[in-house]
Amino acid sequence: MTKSEARVWIVSASLVLTFFSIVFFLTVPYVSVIFRERAIEDAYKMILPLFVGYLAAATQYVIQSRSQEIEEPYPLLKLLVIGPIIGCAASLIILVAVYWLSNAYGDQGMTPDSLTTWVSLILSVLAATSNVLVAWLFQTRRAR
């Protein structure tokens, strides 16, 4: 495995594990009685910063290593642009579905406070990667 392949693998795994964790922690209180909401909150506060940190570090690496304008394909850049957008979109769709279903058919539905916490958490993953990339991709030539 080359260093480039290892980087792509780490970023891919981080994206998958981040969004799998979000979907798991989001849905488990409404499909299982094993986990209490407080225990789930403690778990995602411990696990998610690790993967988001990997993604932010990878984003910084891409920007530093690609400081000059090069228009050749770069798989890590593509993964860091597309992956968080797809993962966040899917997570937000699942969040809305869980919110709606838990309040439509259950006595203990997701509260509006929980909904806004999850929206904030999901969007923070997007912000950790996309904000730096957007600033870099859309800067003017003089600033480069």
| Average pLDDT of the residues in 36-62 | 79
| Average pLDDT of the residues in 21-34 | 79
Q: What percent of the chain is modeled with pLDDT above 90?
A: 10
Q: Is the pLDDT of residue 92 over 60?
A: yes
DSSP string spanning 79-140? HHHHHHHHHHHHHHHHHHHHHHHHHHH-SSPPPHHHHHHHHHHHHHHHHHHHHHHHHHHT--
- pLDDT category, 139, cuts 50, 70, 90? confident
* Residue boundaries of the structural domains of the chain: 3-137
Predicted structure pTM score: 0.77
The candidate with the shortest Cα–Cα distance to 115, out of 7, 29, 17, 13, is 29
Please tell me the predicted confidence (pLDDT) of residue 94.
Answer: 93
